[in-house]
């Protein structure tokens, strides 16, 4: 019997089968690794497209419609930059008109995002928030300057008359969230926020100029509608130039000051106070608002609170102001689809 004649072929066959099995296992592993990598890329691109969409929507300024968005940065329809939206790096965002114009304002936003080696496209439907303005008590058109509050600024984001209303932020401005937090911390005990006041929020500048034009065109009352006695009815008030308050003034509704609001006495308002310039509350003066304050704070203007300023959330007061004159609204995401 010759053992070598059977054992060697058997061993060689076993080795061949083992090599085949090993190869198959290696190929299977390679395919799974490739699939996992593709999934990883797809997930990264999906996250990038969602982040880009969220950033683009949040960055859109509150407005009444989407005309400015569709016209693009140059503000003129029919040009190359129509619908161009500033987006995160690695992402292109472009708005276009929604089908069937009319009714509630809408726009479509195409997002083309790349991330993690993948690419995703999506279409989003934008609309305007039913709630007017933004959920903040003080909305500034520029970052608040350091040392602005030497007196006391008190903010209360809870609405005592409406337990269902969501709490508001104390401050909103076009600045980095960390910078707004740092500003609040730097002001120390001069700025006090109630427990239910939400942290400062980032928001584009309020559309002061457009709002002022709308107020002016709506046959508003003048500064005389602000009364020294409490309880005036809600009105639309437009003040040409600065408003200097030396005595005691009360008002309700919406007051637009086309200049600086300079309070050296006492000013008590229920509703929305809009100031195109700066705000100054002198030492010993008092500024009380049940509603919100929007201030443009253009370059060269001041925000200085040496006296006492107190702002409290009052949902009904803002709705009353909105009923007098429709206020701008934030852009919101109504729907989306992956392409």
- The residues that touch other proteins, with contacts defined as CB under 8 A, are 1, 3, 6-7, 10-11, 14, 17-18, 21-22, 24-25, 28-29, 31-32, 35, 39, 98-100, 103-104, 106, 108, 123, 125, 127, 129-131, 332-338
Considering beta carbons, is residue 103 or 300 the nearer one to other proteins? Answer: 103
Structure tokens at 109: 């936003």
Q: How far is the CB of 247 from other proteins (least distance, A)?
A: 43
Is the Cβ of residue 16 or residue 146 nearer to other proteins in the bound state?
Answer: 16
Q: Which is nearer to other proteins, 13 or 146 (CB)?
A: 13
- Strand-pairing partners, residue 227, are 250
> Which residues lie below 8 Å from residue 53, measured CB to CB, with a gap of 6+?
93, 109, 111, 122, 124, 333, 336
Nearer to other proteins, 104 or 283 (CB): 104
Compute the least distance from the CB of residue 85 to other proteins, in Å: 17
66 vs 57: CA distance, rounded Å: 12
In the bound state with other proteins, the residue whose beta carbon lies nearer, of 21 and 213, is 21
Closest distance to other proteins from the beta carbon of 3 (Å): 6
Q: To the nearest whole angstrom, how small is the minimum distance from the Cβ of residue 202 to other proteins?
A: 20
- Judged by CB, which is closer to other proteins: 130, or 247? 130
Q: Which is nearer to other proteins, 12 or 302 (CB)?
A: 12
Provide the token pair at 183: 């500003």
Q: How far is CA 260 from CA 32, 46, 145, 225, 292, in A?
A: 66, 47, 16, 18, 16
CA angle 83, 84, 87 (to 5 degrees): 135
The per-residue DSSP string of 246-294 comes to -SEEEEEEEEEEES-EEESSEEEEEEEEEESS-EEE-TT-EEEEEEEEE
Q: Which is nearer to other proteins, 1 or 299 (CB)?
A: 1
Contact 308, 151 (CB under 8 A): yes
Q: C-beta of 134: minimal distance to other proteins in Å?
A: 14
> Which residues, at least 6 apart from 282, have a Cβ–Cβ distance to it below 8 Å?
262, 263, 264, 306, 307
Q: Between the CA of residue 288 and those of 64, 142, 285, what are the distances in Å?
A: 28, 22, 10
Contact by Cβ (8 Å): 75, 69: no
Write down the residue that tokens 């608002």 correspond to: 289
Residue 104: CB minimum distance to other proteins, A: 6
Least distance to other proteins, CB of residue 195, Å: 20
Smallest gap from Cβ 177 to other proteins, in A, equals 23
Q: Which of 247, 269, 273 is nearest to 261 (CA)?
A: 273
90 dihedral zone (left: phi>0; alpha: psi -120 to 50; beta): left
């Amino acid at each position: 019997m010759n053992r070598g004649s059977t054992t060697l072929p058997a061993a060689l066959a076993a080795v061949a089968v083992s090599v085949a099995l090993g190869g198959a296992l290696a190929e299977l592993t390679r395919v799974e690794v490739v699939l996992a990598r593709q999934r990883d890329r797809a997930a990264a691109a999906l996250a990038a497209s969602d982040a880009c969409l969220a950033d683009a929507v949040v960055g859109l300024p509150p407005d009444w419609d989407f005309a400015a968005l569709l016209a693009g940065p140059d503000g003129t329809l029919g040009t190359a930059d129509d619908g161009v939206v500033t987006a995160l790096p690695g992402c292109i965002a472009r708005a276009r008109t929604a089908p069937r114009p009319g009714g509630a304002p809408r726009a479509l936003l195409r997002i083309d995002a790349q991330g993690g080696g993948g690419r995703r496209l999506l279409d989003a439907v934008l609309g305007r928030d039913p709630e007017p303005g933004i959920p903040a008590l003080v909305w500034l058109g520029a970052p608040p300057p350091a040392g602005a509050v030497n007196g006391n600024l008190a903010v209360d984001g809870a609405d005592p008359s409406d337990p269902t209303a969501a709490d508001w932020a104390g401050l909103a401005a076009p600045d980095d969230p960390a910078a707004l937090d740092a500003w609040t911390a730097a002001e120390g005990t001069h700025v006090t926020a109630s427990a239910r006041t939400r942290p400062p929020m980032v928001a584009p500048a309020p559309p002061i100029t457009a709002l002022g034009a709308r107020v002016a065109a709506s046959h508003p009352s003048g500064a005389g509608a602000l009364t020294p006695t409490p309880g005036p009815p809600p009105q639309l008030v437009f003040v040409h130039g600065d408003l200097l308050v030396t005595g005691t003034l009360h008002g309700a509704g919406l007051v637009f000051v086309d200049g600086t609001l300079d309070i050296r006495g006492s000013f008590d308002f229920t509703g929305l106070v809009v100031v195109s310039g700066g705000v100054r509350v002198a030492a010993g003066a008092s500024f009380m608002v049940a509603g919100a304050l929007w201030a443009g704070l253009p370059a060269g203007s001041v925000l200085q609170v040496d006296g006492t300023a107190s702002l409290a959330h009052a949902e009904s007061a803002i709705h009353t102001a909105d009923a007098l004159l429709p206020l701008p609204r934030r852009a919101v995401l109504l729907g989306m689809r992956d392409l």
